[in-house]
Structure 1
Amino acid sequence: MAPSPESILFESLFFQWAQVNCESFAVNEEQVLIEEGVATPDLFLLLEGGATVRTALETEDASQDSVDLAELSPGQFVGEMSLLEDRLPVATVIAQPNSRWIRVRYSDLIAAIASDKALASSTYQVFAGKLALQLSRQNAFIHRWPGQDIEPLRKVLLVFGEWNELDVAWLEKTGEKVDLSTGTAFIKEGEALDRLYIVLDGEAEVMINVEGASTTVGSSRRGEILGEMSFLNSDEQATATVQAREAMVLLAVDKTSIRQQLTVDLAFAERFYRSLAVLLSHRCRDQMMSRGMAAQALALEELDLTTLGIVSTAGRRFEWLCSEVSKR
């Protein structure tokens, strides 16, 4: 069973830190906390009451409408995607009357985790767990809008921009090479999954069951991780079926080995959970934008040249991994 939003946040070291070090406040009348397309310096943790998450939707005549994405309950939080990606918010968050919140300044959190690896690991684990739930719920309704396949530059090799050379070397040593033929379903929705997969070559189709029919909700390409959502779920059940769209080469890494490494190396834990959080955040954003959502944020975006440098470094790490695995 997937963890609840309340348990992900309230049982974490990150929440304990926020309670002690950050401002709490009450909302007495409807209030916009985050506005789509407008930079925000804060995370908001919901303690009591509720909130509405709303995004702009581009219609067929190029005008804009809006759609409500979620109604928030205590234990949920917002603002982490902009912190992880350094990009504009994809939705407006409207706090309901009689709600209570904690405001976490990005600058305060960044300073705190820089000197506390345990807090950093907890923070990114909480972010990743929340985003896994968010993406799972988004998958369940996103198919209602027609979409187009997009592969923005910044999504490529995201995790390799977060890992360092020692992390990649450890994964290469620990993992097993897997060759797949076209049409092979190597992850099946609802079944237990004991490995994470890194896509070294080829492309996969991601599908979920919607009212008895298989519906495609995304794709995964070279450099991406698969199986990360089940890694973050306590029951480790796959939330989607993943099938090879063409011949594929994967690196399969046993989850037990990863968890052991997370326990003994907090610096690795910080980088690993951050990489999952960043990847899931981009998937949520890209899935929305491919369906015409977050139209206001998309219209205001500019390519960050820093991203080009990160992708270049990540690409070198990824190609080294591919080269080493190909020798097997």
Structure 2
Amino acid sequence: MYKPVFSTQLIRNNVSITGHAGDVMAEVLLRELSNADIDWMINAGHRETIESDRILVELCKQPDEIHLLLDGTLAIVIPPADQVSGKLSDLSIGDCGHYEVMQLSSGEIVGELSLFNLCLMPAVAKAISPSLVLSIPRQQLVEKLEQDISFSSRFYRMIALMLSERLRRLLEMPGQIQATTEQAMKEVLFVFSEFRDSDVDWLVAAGEVKTLSAGSILLQTGKPVDALHIVLDGLLQISAPEGKYNPLTLCFECAEKNAKFEKPIATLSKGEVSGAVSFLDFRPHPTTVRAINNSLVLSIPRQVLSMRLQQDISFASRFYRVLAIQIANSLQAVMNQLGCSQTIYTQHQEMDMNVEYDDELDLDSLHQVSQGAARFNWMLKRLGIV
């Protein structure tokens, strides 16, 4: 029989990790969505009671439904890197047992990444206690997001907030995250295909191009974010404090002194956005971002951008979708360092036709990348950079 469960504690590799209170995401959802949005979700979906160990999102498979957790507890589980070979889809559920990295409570949504044109995260979402979910057909939700701009702006903002909270939770345990090298991840220019030419025009007019010399800091752990930054050229490194830390002391400490207590966890390259997490939730920035080499960023002041988002609901819908995609990319990168390494093709490597590479692109994705790159390059020309 179903009984409400509100536990937020999990054990991973014999390390106790305490999650945030279960009411946080429920409050975010109720704050961000309107009564009409909630009524639509109720009418489109169906409530279902699920038992412990029920899989809601399978490993590397696109779900047919998006699930909103009304009560109970789910877990996000990823396979360990040393157990991955060949196609990730060949992994059994049992391979994931030792890498439960996060618990989700009421108000969380799973299957949301299938709404974006992203490689599916090599992870499983399953119930770890009797739970109550509202399941909405994915295709029906996609059509609603395409047809109702007001709904999509609120929904994508809510998803971006949810993903940013998950990213913050992962960044609170840097000891579990492998350090990265100063190598650029693949450029994510495809997100610019989400924008219209008028959006790019506005970004160019509202933003300011800033030059960062190698080693200079763009954002510092613990400090507030007063602008959103788009990387135009160069390579930036993201690092997180190791162990417990006081954001206030870090904020008022010399950044160079803090550097020796931080671990590099990811990089940012062309087209990526820096400062998105704190822009959304108004909390101090959870990481330090510094230039690895001479770099250029386009900085859009928070107040100017916030005003635009309030005035133009269509722009807001596209902008929050882009932020959700960017944060999802960062979340995937960190989760891959926790457990499952993706099977990625590298230059000069002989391609195995029997292996499904995670960075392979279908024709639709190739078109999106091409369109995004063209729009990004056009923005660079407008800024006089190329």
Per the normalisation by structure 1, the TM-score is 0.89
The yes-or-no answer on 1:43 pairing with 2:63 is: no
Aligned residue among 359, 362, 375 for 1:304 = 362
Cα deviation for residue 261 of structure 1 reads: 1.1
Partner of 2:266: 218
State whether residues 157 and 222 of structure 1, in contact with CA within 8 Å, keep that contact through their aligned partners in structure 2: yes
Structure 2: 5+ residue stretches without partners: 1-22, 246-260, 346-354
Partner of 1:32: 55
Cα deviation for residue 295 of structure 1 reads: 5.6
Q: Distance in 1 between matches of 2:126 and 2:43?
A: 25
Aligned residue among 205, 212, 233 for 2:281 = 233
Identify if the C-alpha distance between structure 1 residues 105 and 87 changes in structure 2 by more than 3 Å, giving closer, same or farther: farther
Q: Distance in 2 between matches of 1:218 and 1:120?
A: 29
Partner of 2:325: 278
Aligned residue among 321, 325, 328 for 2:383 = 325
Q: Distance in 2 between matches of 1:244 and 1:296?
A: 28
The yes-or-no answer on 1:259 pairing with 2:293 is: no
Amino acid at match of 2:376: F
State whether residues 57 and 295 of structure 1, in contact with CA within 8 Å, keep that contact through their aligned partners in structure 2: no
State whether residues 51 and 72 of structure 1, in contact with CA within 8 Å, keep that contact through their aligned partners in structure 2: yes
State whether residues 79 and 89 of structure 1, in contact with CA within 8 Å, keep that contact through their aligned partners in structure 2: no
State whether residues 188 and 240 of structure 1, in contact with CA within 8 Å, keep that contact through their aligned partners in structure 2: yes
State whether residues 142 and 288 of structure 1, in contact with CA within 8 Å, keep that contact through their aligned partners in structure 2: no
For CA contacts below 8 A with separation 6 or more, give which structure has more relative contact order: 1
Amino acid at match of 2:222: G
Identify if the C-alpha distance between structure 1 residues 62 and 98 changes in structure 2 by more than 3 Å, giving closer, same or farther: closer
Partner of 1:116: 148
Q: After the TM superposition, which of the residue ranges 247-256 and 64-73 deviates more from structure 2?
A: 64-73
Q: Which has the higher strand share?
A: 1
Partner of 2:241: 209
Q: Distance in 2 between matches of 1:185 and 1:56?
A: 34
State whether residues 201 and 221 of structure 1, in contact with CA within 8 Å, keep that contact through their aligned partners in structure 2: yes
Which structure is larger by alpha-carbon Rg, 1 or 2? Answer: 2
Partner of 1:181: 213
State whether residues 158 and 275 of structure 1, in contact with CA within 8 Å, keep that contact through their aligned partners in structure 2: no
Residue 106 of structure 2 aligns to a residue whose secondary structure is: coil
1:49-198 paired onto structure 2 within 5 Å: 49-59=72-82, 65-66=95-96, 67-85=99-117, 87-141=119-173, 143-146=175-178, 153=186, 155-198=187-230
State whether residues 124 and 277 of structure 1, in contact with CA within 8 Å, keep that contact through their aligned partners in structure 2: yes
Amino acid at match of 1:263: Q
State whether residues 28 and 98 of structure 1, in contact with CA within 8 Å, keep that contact through their aligned partners in structure 2: yes
Identify if the C-alpha distance between structure 1 residues 54 and 230 changes in structure 2 by more than 3 Å, giving closer, same or farther: same
Identify if the C-alpha distance between structure 1 residues 28 and 297 changes in structure 2 by more than 3 Å, giving closer, same or farther: farther
For each residue in 1:191-211, what CA deviation from the matched residue of structure 2 results, as whole angstroms up to 9, or x when unmatched? 111100111111111111122
Partner of 1:4: 24
State whether residues 185 and 269 of structure 2, in contact with CA within 8 Å, keep that contact through their aligned partners in structure 1: no
Q: After the TM superposition, which of the residue ranges 208-217 and 163-172 deviates more from structure 2?
A: 208-217
Q: Distance in 2 between matches of 1:297 and 1:9?
A: 35
Cα deviation for residue 188 of structure 1 reads: 0.8
Q: Distance in 2 between matches of 1:214 and 1:148?
A: 12
Partner of 1:17: 40
Per the normalisation by structure 2, the TM-score is 0.77
Q: Distance in 1 between matches of 2:43 and 2:84?
A: 49
Q: Distance in 2 between matches of 1:296 and 1:51?
A: 27
Identify if the C-alpha distance between structure 1 residues 171 and 27 changes in structure 2 by more than 3 Å, giving closer, same or farther: same
Identify if the C-alpha distance between structure 1 residues 292 and 151 changes in structure 2 by more than 3 Å, giving closer, same or farther: farther
Amino acid at match of 2:282: S
Q: Distance in 1 between matches of 2:362 and 2:84?
A: 30
State whether residues 203 and 219 of structure 1, in contact with CA within 8 Å, keep that contact through their aligned partners in structure 2: yes
Identify if the C-alpha distance between structure 1 residues 276 and 176 changes in structure 2 by more than 3 Å, giving closer, same or farther: same
Identify if the C-alpha distance between structure 1 residues 199 and 76 changes in structure 2 by more than 3 Å, giving closer, same or farther: same
For each residue in 1:36-66, what CA deviation from the matched residue of structure 2 results, as whole angstroms up to 9, or x when unmatched? 1222111111111111221111218969843
Q: Distance in 1 between matches of 2:377 and 2:26?
A: 40
Aligned-CA RMSD value: 2.9
Partner of 2:348: none
Amino acid at match of 1:75: G
Identify if the C-alpha distance between structure 1 residues 38 and 284 changes in structure 2 by more than 3 Å, giving closer, same or farther: same
Q: Distance in 1 between matches of 2:84 and 2:205?
A: 53
Cα deviation for residue 98 of structure 1 reads: 2.7
Amino acid at match of 1:134: R
Identify if the C-alpha distance between structure 1 residues 200 and 296 changes in structure 2 by more than 3 Å, giving closer, same or farther: closer
Q: Number of paired residues? A: 326
Structure 1: 5+ residue stretches without partners: none
State whether residues 262 and 269 of structure 1, in contact with CA within 8 Å, keep that contact through their aligned partners in structure 2: yes
